[in-house]
């Protein structure tokens, strides 16, 4: 992405979450802020949702990955975790919907400075008040030290934390992925949910064609896919960083669990995974 411009790709999942509210009535992820924070007319959101026959798949994935992450987070909060880090937050609204507000949790939203400034502007224009538990931490994943930036925002590195890392990994180099996991591994009982993408061969028919076309388009921009990972490689990378509890949820399982809630879901196979991984240190929280 360009240094002084917000991420264009942050708009895509935001529109997909908004479309999920309109077309699927938030059946997977109920998000009353999705349309408001986007700042677009409902007709424009629906036009986006119907622009491509496979748009329903993106709608499913955006809603399902957030639901999987937030379900896992709820379990972590029950175990005593009180720090939540949203990496590559974009227009994510979890902090606004926080169901754990009665507990002293802190939500650190991490994103590129330009994207974060754009989000704050969107919140102000939508007249959405910032909750007291929300803390912004501007970070360029390819250049900044994540630990230093978070510590500067008040994050406690000696306390357990739950990380959501959605819509980010495919855009990072392997070096940036490893650096981020290195930091997570330094946190006691760290837990993370992220999504990743396999090479285009793992997609079927029209989905493969669409992924190839978008990949070619992105090669001409500053926001391109940098990492395509085989599931076995993902597991090996996580284990190398000390994550022993790993659940890799492939598209077939996602569609089986959530697909019925998506109106007019297109058929096909997507090489997209949502991964939930956890470190278990000697002292549990």
**Distance (Å, rounded) from C-alpha 183 to C-alpha 113?**
20
- Which of the 8 DSSP states describes residue 11? H
**Which pLDDT score is estimated for 176?**
87
Q: What is the pTM of this model?
A: 0.92
Question: Would you place residue 221 in the very low, low, confident or very high pLDDT band (cuts 50, 70, 90)?
Answer: low
Own/partner long-range contacts of 181-184 (Cβ < 8 Å, ≥24 apart): 181/237, 181/238, 181/241, 181/243, 182/241, 183/146, 183/147, 184/241, 184/279
Q: What is the mean pLDDT of residues 200-214?
A: 80
Question: Would you place residue 282 in the very low, low, confident or very high pLDDT band (cuts 50, 70, 90)?
Answer: low
**Which pLDDT score is estimated for 1?**
47
pLDDT tens readout for residues 113-153: 999 999 999 999 999 999 999 999 999 876 889 999 999 99
Residue 223 has pLDDT above 70, yes or no: no
The neighbour count for residue 250, using CB atoms within 10 Å, is 18
**Which pLDDT score is estimated for 26?**
98
Question: Would you place residue 274 in the very low, low, confident or very high pLDDT band (cuts 50, 70, 90)?
Answer: very high
The values of phi and psi at residue 34, to 5°, are -60, -45
List of domains in the chain = 8-278 (3.40.50.150)
Is residue 142 a contact partner of residue 173, using CB atoms and an 8 Å limit? yes
**Distance (Å, rounded) from C-alpha 151 to C-alpha 137?**
9
């Amino acid at each position: 992405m360009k240094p002084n411009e917000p991420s264009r790709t942050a708009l895509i999942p935001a529109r997909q979450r908004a479309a999920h509210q309109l077309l699927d009535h938030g059946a997977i992820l109920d998000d009353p802020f999705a349309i408001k924070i986007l700042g677009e007319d409902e007709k424009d959101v629906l036009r986006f949702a119907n622009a491509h026959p496979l748009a329903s798949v993106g709608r499913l994935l955006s809603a399902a990955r957030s639901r999987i992450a937030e379900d896992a987070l709820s379990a972590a909060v029950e175990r005593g975790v009180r720090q939540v880090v949203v990496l590559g937050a974009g227009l994510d609204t979890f902090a606004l919907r926080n169901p754990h507000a009665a507990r002293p949790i802190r939500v650190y939203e991490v994103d590129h400075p330009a994207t974060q400034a754009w989000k704050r502007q969107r919140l102000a224009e939508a007249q959405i008040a910032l909750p007291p538990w929300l803390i912004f931490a501007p970070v360029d994943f390819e250049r900044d030290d994540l630990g230093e930036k978070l510590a500067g925002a008040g994050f406690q590195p000696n306390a357990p934390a739950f990380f959501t890392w959605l819509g980010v990994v495919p855009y990072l180099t392997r070096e940036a992925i490893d650096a981020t996991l290195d930091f997570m591994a330094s946190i006691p009982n760290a837990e993370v949910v992220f999504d990743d993408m396999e090479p285009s061969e793992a997609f079927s028919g029209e989905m493969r064609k669409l992924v190839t076309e978008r990949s070619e388009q992105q090669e001409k921009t500053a926001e391109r896919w940098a990492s395509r990972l085989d599931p076995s490689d993902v597991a090996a990378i996580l284990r190398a960083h000390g994550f022993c509890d790993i659940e890799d949820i492939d598209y077939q399982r996602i569609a089986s669990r959530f697909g019925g809630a998506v109106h007019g879901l297109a058929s096909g196979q997507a090489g997209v995974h949502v991964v939930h991984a956890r470190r278990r240190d000697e002292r549990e929280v």
